[in-house]
Amino acid sequence: MSFDTTTLNQQMTHFDGHDSLWLFGYGSLIWKAGFDYLERRPAHIVGWARRFWQASHDHRGTPEDPGRVATLVQAPGAACHGMAYRITPRTLQPLDEREKNGYLRVVTELYFDDGGRHEGLVYIAREDNAAFAGPESEEALARRIATARGPSGANRDYLLNLAAALRELGHDDPHVFALEARLLAAE
């Protein structure tokens, strides 16, 4: 059901020899880093859209009742807003564990909200991973998110915290906000 990507990610050598690197977070990493970082800056990446199309069997759900968490899908012309962290390479090991359910490290260009850009890293759960759930109606996604719960807590909290963090950053995400509206309307 899940696909442990830890070993694959630890074989990536792109940032070997660097004292630090930039990591882009677009889901829980926006508001809940859970790791030490050297710097934190609002940023976005281009050509990707955030979608709740990744099943969560290990954090916001269980194998019997998987939740849904964010991944990125290619979307020409789109911009996905989030948070960039400058980290040391040793931070990657615990991140590989945290993102092990199908997420792979991908090198990307980060654009900082206050100007400038830098090469960085993002974890993306692609369509070919075993936990990729794919598109569902907003109604079906909201129902699943409303009831799923895992070791990291209620799936609904993940969605609500993400929506609040995006508002705090001043960025609109129609997919996230539509799911949030459906979730709250059903309560």
Active-site amino acid positions: 99
Provide the H-helix boundaries in 26-154.
Answer: 92-98, 138-147
Q: Residue 50: enclosing H or E segment and its boundaries?
A: strand 39-56
Q: Residue 111: enclosing H or E segment and its boundaries?
A: strand 103-112
134 Rama class: left (phi>0) / alpha (psi -120 to 50) / beta? left
Q: How far apart are CA 90 and CA 176, in angstroms?
A: 32
Give the CA count within 13 Å in the CB-facing half-sphere of 178.
Answer: 12
Query: What's the token pair of residue 26?
Result: 């677009």
Asked if 131 and 70 touch (Cβ cutoff 8 Å), the reply is no
Q: What single letter denotes the amino acid at residue 135?
A: P
> Residue 70's closest CA among 160, 154, 176?
176
